[in-house]
Structure 1
Amino acid sequence: MASVVIYTRQFCGYCSAAKKLLETKGVTFVEHDATHDPGLRQTMIEKSNGGTTFPQIFINGLHVGGCDDLHALDRAGKLDEMLVA
């Protein structure tokens, strides 16, 4: 199974939707809650090449974007193959 990391914040509907999609696929992920941690948020921005919105998602170290990007990968049939790589 792939290594999945997701940067989130509390009360974020997009974060919840992204985590729900990953959970329905049986994916274990590492969640970094940056709600009250400006340093963690800065790390997220740097790793995502400037992504400031939540969530920011990484699969096997590759930045895939946010919730909409994750769902687009799923609709295109590409997410499952990324998750088994």
Structure 2
Amino acid sequence: MNDIVMYTTATCPYCRAAEQLLHGRGIKDISFVRVDIDPQKRAEMMERTGRRSVPQIYIGNRHVGGFDDLQALDRSGELNHLLNA
């Protein structure tokens, strides 16, 4: 199973929705990177993803994007493939 990394903030409802979607797919171990606590982590996120908004989600080495992107992968069936690769 691939590692999951999620750049997040404490008050982001889309971050919580992404977490719930992943939990619903059996993922219990998610590494959260709080960009609201550490400005260096926000800069790191922006450099890695080219995006400013959270969540930004990585499955293994693949940047899947934010919650809408994760949800689209789930609907297409590709999320299960990524999670189990």
Instruction: Please give the range of the TM-score, normalised by the shorter of the 2 chains.
Output: over 0.9
Q: Which runs of 5+ in 1 are unaligned?
A: none
Amino acid at match of 2:41: L
User: Which amino acid in structure 1 is aligned with residue 69 of structure 2?
Assistant: D
Q: Percent identity?
A: 44
**Higher mean C-alpha displacement, 32-41 vs 63-72:** 32-41
For the residue of structure 1 that corresponds to 2:43, the secondary structure is helix
1:2-81 mapped onto 2 (5 Å cutoff): 2-27=2-27, 28-48=29-49, 50-81=50-81
Shift of 1:16: 0.4
- Normalising by the residue count of structure 1, what TM-score does the alignment of the two structures yield? 0.94
The runs of at least 4 consecutive aligned structure 1 residues that moved more than 2 Å come to none
Normalising to structure 2: TM-score of the pair? 0.94
User: Number of residues paired by the alignment?
Assistant: 84
RMSD of the alignment, in Å?
A: 0.8
Flag structure 2 segments of 5+ consecutive residues without an equivalent.
Answer: none
